[in-house]
Amino acid sequence: MEQDVAVLQPGYESSKNVLQRVTDFFADLMERYLPDPFVLVIVLTLVMVVLGMTVVHQSLGAMVNDWSTGFWSFLEFSMQVALVVVTGYALAASKPVARLFNWVASRFHTPRGAILCVTVVAACASYISWGFGLIAGALMAQELAKRIRGVHYPLLFSSAYSGWIVYGLGISATIPITLATAGNPFAASIGGLVSLKQTIFLPGVLIDVGILLVTLPILNLWIHPKASDVLDVNPAAWENEEQPPQPAASSPAAGLASSKRGSAIGERLERAWPLNAVIALMGIGYLVYHFWTGGSLDINTLNAIFLFAGLLCHGTPMAYVQAVSQGVRSIGGIVLQFPFYAGIMGMMQGSGLAVAISKWMVNLSTAHTLPFFGFLSSFIINFFAPSSGGHWAIQGPFMIEAAKHVGASIAKTSMAVQMGCSWNDLVQPFWLIPILSVARLNVRQIMGYTIVPFLWVGVVYAATVLLW
């Protein structure tokens, strides 16, 4: 990777504060010991085998059988998740959104401003859609890094990632959307649907959104390293690295390409904006009918919204194809690892380990404390199942029955599980993979800067779950 690195004075105090010392400790720890996310999923697989054999006394053969059974069990869901990221990437990379990002980035001129901007943009975008927010924050960080010197490059992307975890409180949060969707597999046991007013629109959850929007940017400012430790990278140096070679203007190949360009019917169709407009209008009509007839917002509907919005914003079919192709490149690691996490989920479910973890905590619970213990158990389970949908398929049935048994609110309990998932994402690097692709950094360079936000978010979420 070609980098322009310069150490400049960002205008911060020369002495390290407590948060900077804590951050430096964890950054060094991660740099030394944290493996690549793919290596981590292999290690977690082996840990799950050992836990299944020792905690719930399954045989090695039974654990391997559960692993192989689960390995391909989430193909549909993994495709849905991949589309969330890819359609979010394509929309974030479109010209209208890129112009908006450029305009926003041009309002900021200092390292402090860059950190504030990227955290808030990622949080707001993630509240709308976790896939869009994941990429929007990364692209905003990249744009700010081109414009502003003296900002610590890994922290800039860590700030985007810390802002992204607001998705767990937003309108695309998987567990609340699932419970609000007609025909979901939990509706019969619950006795109906759980409206979003009972989950993401609870006063306590909305207050948390406001608290994180204000405090996370400030926290990220406080952990910015001193001037001598700043890694200042200008991504503008990479812009033409991967462009395919173009024939010289005077070469026969160039002349042939020029003579054919615009004449072939196929090429004209590829650049025909009416095709995008017509299919997008059809999609909009479908969405209007869906919601008009009582349809709810689920993962498929969310993907449809972003797909058709992306088609409109890119203008031509080929422009959208190219944007999607770039988005697909950013999720290679996710596609590779999803079957392995599905295998881990299969072991957790087949061996009863997830139920054992939840049941152990629930046995300590009352109607008031069940959401809190659900929150904690969700945090643990998310290490092995870092996907709200697959995670809820394992933990959801037991938590719902436990809530009914102790008289706890099913809505608040399920929301607490969702909050535990998103809290854990700050220390589970699975969803960092698309950001690493944009940033051209490794996971060790970013994860050390997520620990202090992780600790703070844990305090905010735990207090909320205990108080509501």
Per-residue pLDDT tens for 12-53? 444 457 888 888 888 888 888 888 889 989 999 999 999 999
262, burial (CB in 10 Å: exposed 0-12, middle 13-18, buried 19+):
exposed
Residue 319 lies in a domain: yes
What the block records as the tokens of 299 is 């993962």
pLDDT at 234: 85
Q: How far apart are CA 339 and CA 387, in angstroms?
A: 12
Residue 65 lies in a domain: no
Q: How far apart are CA 164 and CA 422, in angstroms?
A: 9
pLDDT at 116: 96
What the block records as the tokens of 182 is 């007609």
Question: What is the span of the domain harbouring residue 420?
Answer: 88-237+270-467
CA atoms lying within 13 Å on the CB side of residue 94: 24
Is the Cβ–Cβ distance between 313 and 95 less than 8 Å? Answer: yes
CA atoms lying within 13 Å on the CB side of residue 416: 27
What the block records as the tokens of 105 is 């980035």
What's the pLDDT tens digit per position in 47-104? 999 999 998 899 999 999 999 998 988 788 788 888 888 998 898 889 998 899 889 9
DSSP 41-100: HHHHHHHHHHHHHHTS---HHHHHHHHHHHHTTTHHHHHHHHHHHHHHHHHHTSHHHHHH
Q: Which residues of the chain have pLDDT under 70?
A: 1-16, 239-263, 296, 358, 361
pLDDT at 46: 95
CA atoms lying within 13 Å on the CB side of residue 428: 24
pLDDT at 239: 65
What the block records as the tokens of 40 is 């981590």
Residue 10 lies in a domain: no
76, burial (CB in 10 Å: exposed 0-12, middle 13-18, buried 19+):
exposed
Which stretch of DSSP H or E encloses residue 232? strand 232-233
Q: Is 114 helix (H, G, I), strand (E, B) or coil?
A: helix
pLDDT at 14: 43
Distance (Å) of CA 431 to CA 175, 334, 427, 456: 17, 8, 10, 20
Residue 38: what residue type?
Answer: F
Residue 123 lies in a domain: yes
Is the Cβ–Cβ distance between 416 and 179 less than 8 Å? Answer: no
Residue 182 lies in a domain: yes
What the block records as the tokens of 214 is 């204000």
The residues facing 232 across adjacent strands are 6
Q: How far apart are CA 142 and CA 156, in angstroms?
A: 8
Residue 117 lies in a domain: yes
pLDDT at 371: 93
Q: Is 35 helix (H, G, I), strand (E, B) or coil?
A: coil
Give the total number of structural domains in the chain. Answer: 1
Q: How far apart are CA 196 and CA 199, in angstroms?
A: 5
Q: Which of 275, 262, 261 is nearest to 320 (CA)?
A: 275
Q: How far apart are CA 438 and CA 143, in angstroms?
A: 11
pLDDT at 413: 94
Residue 184 lies in a domain: yes
Residue 450 lies in a domain: yes
Strand 5-6, strand 232-233: pairing: antiparallel
